[in-house]
Structure 1
Amino acid sequence: MPKVRGLRKRLDPARREAVRLLERIENDQAYVNRLMSAGLTDELEPEAGRRATEYVAGVTRWRRWLDFLLAQNYRGRYDSMEPRLRQILRLGLYELLFTDTPPYAALNEAVELARRLVRPQAGAVVNAVLRSLLRQRDFLPQPQTGDPVEDLAIRYSHPTWIVQRWLARYGPADTEALLRYNNERPWFGVRVRTDRISRHVVLHRLADRGLEAEPSPVLDDFIRVQRLGPLLEDRLIEKGLLAVQDESAGLAVRLLDPHPDETIVDACAAPGGKTTYIATRMRDHGRVLAFDVHPKRTELIRRAALQQGLTSIVAEALDLRQVSERYPELQADRVLLDVPCSGLGVLAKRADLRWHRRPEELDELVRLQDELLEAAARLMRPGGILVYSTCTIEPEENEARVRAFLARHPEFTVERADAWVPAEMVTDEGFFATWPPRDRMDGAFAARLRRTA
């Protein structure tokens, strides 16, 4: 009788896609959120798409720690390993250490990925390295470089330069708390269009579907959810009833305190989360002029406005530094300037940022932030409000920029944030500043400035 060949096992689509995306992130310096928003996992079933997203975020978050452990157990030069094989090892080790996947399943899947995506002999390498680490799982080796900063950065999988900055500013205990927070699976803020649906109804609907959600303790129109995927499948976002938005961003809009019938400029506005919240707070009466330098991202503002049925928003692709020339008569009641920044306050949700950022970029960002502040000031009417905001916790981009601006512009004064945000988030100087481990939201900063003349 002829020999019957066994059916070849189909590769798990979630793991296969995760390896491909991880290669894009490392080789092309691609950003996780852009890859996901580009729909690169759309061909997967929803469950597989969610797993691929979790794998990519988790491996990216823990990459340095995973590499340290793998290098300790690889016979050879780990930094010379084939890139795809390294991604498969990272994924397999991440599953062993941080997920509920049974160890035998994680091992078998990683071995099969290596055999099929690299070469047949690579499966033996993966099997040997991961089995060695599995035996050590309860007493993993710890970094001992002789430099405590380096050791902490490896153990919590952050660049050394960031850890060094934070240790100097916050001290060991608070720095470690921040590092731990950045490596937790984040909760996501979701804004509820309470003019259309009550927060109570949304929470009950999510509970009926078995989704973890809780009301925001600081904003009466926000909730917190642990997973976004099922929420997207529920179509509440598509219907304009919900919008994904961190509570810190919502608090920056509350600090702006928009009123109906005002003219408000949202500078650097894409993708439009704050823009639509401003219009909602104005009950869609007045004008919200949203500017962003990127035409494709400006289109996202228009789509968000259309999705949420908001007609007061006018979005234009225009550099803020050119707005006063294009519209010399424009005098805004309020301006929200959410500047491009290092993003070092959002590393819990954007783990890839920690690997993309470089310390020398701060000087360039600071110059841009100063230029944008000057441009925003030219759009203000006397008596108007300018809110300068960031999603970073770095003082060079936050307090230092406001102090430098006030030194150049004595016609502006600080209005303390106490009346608009929780007291624990107000600094001694009256600025709004969140601390992620305490507030369980992104690290953010905002200053409310009034033009007095």
Structure 2
Amino acid sequence: MSGNIQGRSSGKGHRAAGDTSGREGNRRPNSGKSGGAGHASANGASRSQKPKTSARALAVKVLSAVEQDGAYSNLELNRRLKEADLSPADAGLATELVYGTIARLNTLDYYLERFVAKGVSKLQPWVRSLLRISVYQMIYLDRIPEHAVVSEAVNLAKKLGHQGISGMVNGVLRNMIRQRDELRISEHLPVAERISLEHSHPLWMVERWIAQYGEEAAEAICRANNEPPAVSVRVNTTMTTREKLMQEMADTGAIVEASKLSSDGILVRSGGNMALTSWYRNGLFSIQDESSMLVAEAVAPEEGQNVLDCCAAPGGKTAHMAEKMQDRGHIVANDVHAHKRQLILDQADRLGLSCIDAVTGDALDLGERYPMSSFDRILLDAPCSGLGVIRRKPDVKWTKSVEDIEDISNLQRELLDRVAPLLKPGGILVYSTCTIEPSENELMVADFLNRHPEYSPAEASVCSESETVNLKVVNGGVQILPQDAHSDGFFIARLTRTAE
């Protein structure tokens, strides 16, 4: 595809469990279709000072930086939002334009290619970004009038370029409006190509998923990846109960419901930014995706046990394990990045957890730092391709390759081999990823079990709260696809060491 975004999502292995720090945060708002073109403040009053930039100008700058400089979309967006004087509505619009445009990238280019005389790839990056966000608004945001989209785009083109560019932008967009009925994906394309364009995923990825899961499931994966991610929180059971916290939240007007995946989870359908609430500040909950909550449930640590979290930052799963243990025992939370150690400590401090010992080092070297057979539980939340969290980090679609999957699989295999001797006989090792790639998941576990006869699949303890959520069980693990429970794609395997 011409003019591809080449930016990267931030964080270890492109994973996103939904915590508010570290690798997480690429969330597109559920309110993106509200327009957000005005400059009203949160209480409805007019702003006394005009913002230094508009939502659309900010989005163009972010997308251009992602494409030209390889910037992380979430970090670049957050930086520019902090610098700008935007209303909450405009900040929401800018966020929707950035993540929505990246999510629908090759579909937007497919439509534009017919109307840009020299081709999309020949445009300057900022012009390409401007046209993309404009077409995104016309097709996917139903409350922004088309004439307003064109007017804003032309005015922005004049400010950023010159009369000739603004004329071209005006002509392209007006021609697209006049021929709106032709902006559709042909039903006569080969299946993989149709899915690729209709749901905006790389063709190689769609073909791979069709081979792995079949046409119907592959299309469902792609469709689910374009859904806005749900907001879910995990109750800190050392401080309160799910029922009590849900009642408190409902009393303030929030719309909440119990998670069907995790007994500790709450889905927040409406209620504002959860990270700004007193419940969050006081440690009553953490923000985490439902699928990610199942990892600590699989580890099932018990009070007084010695637990190793090999790749722990930013500490969401570590904290969940500590809560499961009622903060009684010892958890070694290791991460390779020294600056992320503080993220783990900050989580523990906010949640009032004292049993977490955050350390820094390469997980491949853990065997040199701790005695063999010294841990009752081990969690290897492995670096991975991140193909399960595309709805949170749409950049992943355009930056990953088959070679990346092969490279990360080699690292995963070595990590498993290195940490396996650290588990006590009778203990539990949980291997988890936020990808749906079999070579990183069930095939990885099958290969490990074949080479390590001292290990075998443990009795499953990963189960949903509701029978309406069907999870695929393979090789002692559970594969969650994005469409299964409208949560992140995850793989969780529970293994036990049966001998020395």
TM-score with structure 2 length normalisation?
A: 0.83
Check 1:419–1:176 CA distance in 2 against 1; reply closer, same or farther (3 A cut).
closer
Secondary structure of the residue that 1:367 maps to in structure 2? helix
CA distance in 1, matches of 2:166, 2:230: 36
Of residues 110, 129, 140, the one that matches 2:153 is: 110
1:239 aligns to 2:282 (yes or no): yes
Of residues 196, 215, 218, the one that matches 2:239 is: 196
Structure 1 match to 2:482: 436
Q: Which runs of 5+ in 1 are unaligned?
A: 1-8
Q: Single out whichever of 197-206 and 168-177 deviates more from structure 2.
A: 197-206
Q: Which runs of 5+ in 2 are unaligned?
A: 1-49
Of residues 391, 397, 406, the one that matches 2:440 is: 397
Check 1:447–1:250 CA distance in 2 against 1; reply closer, same or farther (3 A cut).
same
CA distance in 2, matches of 1:385, 1:314: 20
Between 1 and 2, higher relative CO (CA 8 Å, sep ≥ 6) is seen in: 2
Check 1:110–1:222 CA distance in 2 against 1; reply closer, same or farther (3 A cut).
same
Check 1:95–1:229 CA distance in 2 against 1; reply closer, same or farther (3 A cut).
farther
Secondary structure of the residue that 2:439 maps to in structure 1? coil
1:61 aligns to 2:107 (yes or no): no
Secondary structure of the residue that 2:214 maps to in structure 1? helix
Q: Is the 8 A contact 2:442 2:474 kept in 1?
A: no
Q: CA deviation at 1:212?
A: 5.1
Of residues 42, 49, 58, the one that matches 2:82 is: 42
Per-residue deviation, residues 367-405 of structure 1 (Å, max 9, x unmatched): 100111012112111111100111111110011111111
Give the aligned CA root-mean-square deviation in angstroms: 2.5
Check 1:241–1:412 CA distance in 2 against 1; reply closer, same or farther (3 A cut).
same
CA distance in 2, matches of 1:320, 1:219: 28
Of residues 325, 332, 342, the one that matches 2:368 is: 325
Secondary structure of the residue that 2:281 maps to in structure 1? coil
Q: Is the 8 A contact 1:432 1:447 kept in 2?
A: yes
Of residues 37, 52, 56, the one that matches 1:15 is: 56
Q: Is the 8 A contact 1:272 1:304 kept in 2?
A: yes
CA distance in 1, matches of 2:456, 2:156: 60
Structure 2 match to 1:257: 300
Check 1:14–1:244 CA distance in 2 against 1; reply closer, same or farther (3 A cut).
same
Secondary structure of the residue that 1:86 maps to in structure 2? helix
Secondary structure of the residue that 2:473 maps to in structure 1? coil
Structure 2 match to 1:412: 455
Q: CA deviation at 1:283?
A: 0.9
Question: What residue identity is the alignment partner of 1:42?
Answer: K
CA distance in 1, matches of 2:311, 2:451: 22
Of residues 102, 115, 119, the one that matches 2:162 is: 119
Q: CA deviation at 1:145?
A: 9.3
Q: Single out whichever of 254-263 and 11-20 deviates more from structure 2.
A: 11-20
Q: Single out whichever of 235-244 and 415-424 deviates more from structure 2.
A: 415-424
Question: What residue identity is the alignment partner of 2:231?
Answer: F
CA distance in 1, matches of 2:267, 2:378: 28
Question: What residue identity is the alignment partner of 2:131?
Answer: L
CA distance in 2, matches of 1:321, 1:195: 32
Q: CA deviation at 1:415?
A: 1.3
CA distance in 2, matches of 1:410, 1:430: 15
Secondary structure of the residue that 2:279 maps to in structure 1? coil
Q: Single out whichever of 60-69 and 322-331 deviates more from structure 2.
A: 322-331
Check 1:249–1:151 CA distance in 2 against 1; reply closer, same or farther (3 A cut).
same
Q: CA deviation at 1:193?
A: 2.1
CA distance in 2, matches of 1:14, 1:240: 33
Structure 1 match to 2:5: none
Identity %: 39
CA distance in 2, matches of 1:212, 1:265: 37
Structure 2 match to 1:3: none
